[in-house]
Amino acid sequence: RYLLYDVNPPEGFNLRRDVYIRIASLLKTLLKSENWVLVLPPWGRLYHWQSPSILQVRIPWSEFFDLPSLNKNIPVIEYEQFLAESGGPFIEQIYVLQGYAEGWKEGTWEEKTDERPCIDQLMYSKDKHEYYRGWFWGYEETRGLNVSCLSVQGSASIVAPILLKNTSAQSVMLDRAENLLHDHYGGKDYWNTRRSMVFAKHLRVVGDEFRNKYLQSTDEADRTHYKEDWTQMKVKMGTALGGPYLGVHLRRKDFIWGHREDVPSLQGAVKKIRSLLEMHKLEKVFVATDAVEEEIELLKKLLPEMVRFEPSWEELELYKDGGLAVIDQWICAHARYFIGTSVSTFSFRIHEEREILGFDPKTTYNRFCGEKEKNCEQPTHWKIVY
C-alpha cells in the first residue's frame, strides 16, 4: 500500500526534512503489520525559493537526496514511480490532519485521533465527476477519491491504526502532516532516518570542490572522511577537525521583519565573527545567508574576507534553490567552527550534519545573540545515537 503526504505550503525546505523523519517512523510502524511504501512528495514553489526566473515545481527528491540511501532505512519511491505503478493519477483516500477544535485542556495531554468535521476551509474542491482537485505538488491531473478530516494530537504513529483498520484504500495521503509530532525525537530511530537523508552526490561534489578551491579544505586534512553507505558511517565524537575557516549561517529576511530579539544586527554579527576568527586563528569565513542585495553589499564592506557560494545563472537552474541550500549547508558542516541563527531549521540541519561527521559539540552548537538579549541561550546538543 502507498502512503503519501504533504505539508502546509508556507513551510520551508528544512522543516519539511524534519516532517519526513516523523512520517518515516509512522511507516516503520505500519511495516510491522503490512507492506507499505512511502511516496516522496515532490518539491516545489516554496516560499524561500525566490529565484524568479526558474520554474521550481514537481522536483523529485533525487535532485537533493540520495534515494538508495533513503531506501536503506524505509522503502521509498518518487511520485512519478507511484503514478506509473498505481495505474493512474488517483489517490484513494486523503486525510487532512488538524488539531482539535476544542483545543486541549491544561494538564490533560493525551495522544488521540478522531475523524471530525473539517475546522478550516478545505483546500480541495470537487469537480463535475465528483473527484477532488487540489494542489497535489503541482501535478494538476492528480485526483482524490475521498477526503476527510482527522483531528490528531500526538506522535506520528497514532494514525497507524486508522490506516490499518479504518481504510482499505491502496493509496492514502496525509495532508498537513506537520501536525504529527515525532515518535522519539533524538532517539536511535530518529537518527537512523536522519543519517539516511544523504545529500545527492552531485551536490556534495560541488561543495567539496568549492571547499578545496576557495577554503583550502579537504576531507584528508580536515579529518572529515565520508562513507557513501551511511549504515557503515560511525565516527567518534571530536575526531573531525574541519577546514581552516569559520562557518556562518546568517538568517535574515522574515527573521528581521519579525523584529526578533534574538537576531543580531549586521554590525553585531560582524563583530562576533571577528572575535571568533581571532579566537580560532582563522582567516576565512564562509557565509550562508538569505540577506537581500543591499545587506550583502554592506557585509562585503564590513567583512572583506567573507566567502560565499555565488552560483551562475546556469548553476542556479541546474541545482535550484534547494540544491543551493544543500551546498551551503554542506560547506558550513565542514567548517572548523560553526555559528548559526537562533531557532532556524537551516542551522539545525547543519548541527545534525556536523554531529554525523563527528565534530566536537563545542564547535557546532553556537548561535548569534541579539543586541538586546538578556540571556542568550545556546542551542541544545542532540547527541547522535547509533
| Grid coordinates given for 25 | 517512523
Q: What is the edge-to-edge ordering of all strands in the sheet holding 284-289?
A: 306-307, 284-289, 243-250, 335-339
CB 325 within 8 A of CB 46: no
Q: How many CB atoms lie within 10 A of CB 192?
A: 20
Residue 246's DSSP bridge partners are 285, 337
The sign of the torsion formed by the CA atoms of 67, 28, 18, 83 equals positive
> Which pLDDT tens digit goes with each residue over 57-110?
899 999 999 999 999 999 999 999 999 999 899 999 999 999 998 887 777 778
Element (H, E) at 295: helix 293-302
Given 11, 63, 352, 355, which residue is catalytic?
11
Confidence at residue 50, expressed as pLDDT on a 0 to 100 scale: 58
pLDDT score of 49 more than 60: no
Give the integer Cα–Cα distance in Å for 138 and 122.
17
| Grid coordinates given for 251 | 538568517
> Which pLDDT tens digit goes with each residue over 211-246?
999 999 999 999 999 999 999 999 999 999 999 999
Give the integer Cα–Cα distance in Å for 45 and 16.
13
pLDDT (mean) for 264-283: 95
Return mean pLDDT, the chain. 93
Determine whether 11 is an active site residue.
Answer: yes
pLDDT (mean) for 246-267: 83
CB 264 within 8 A of CB 275: no
> Which pLDDT tens digit goes with each residue over 364-377?
999 999 988 888 99
* Pairing of β 143-153 and β 112-116: antiparallel
Task: Please give the single-letter amino acid code of residue 85.
Answer: E
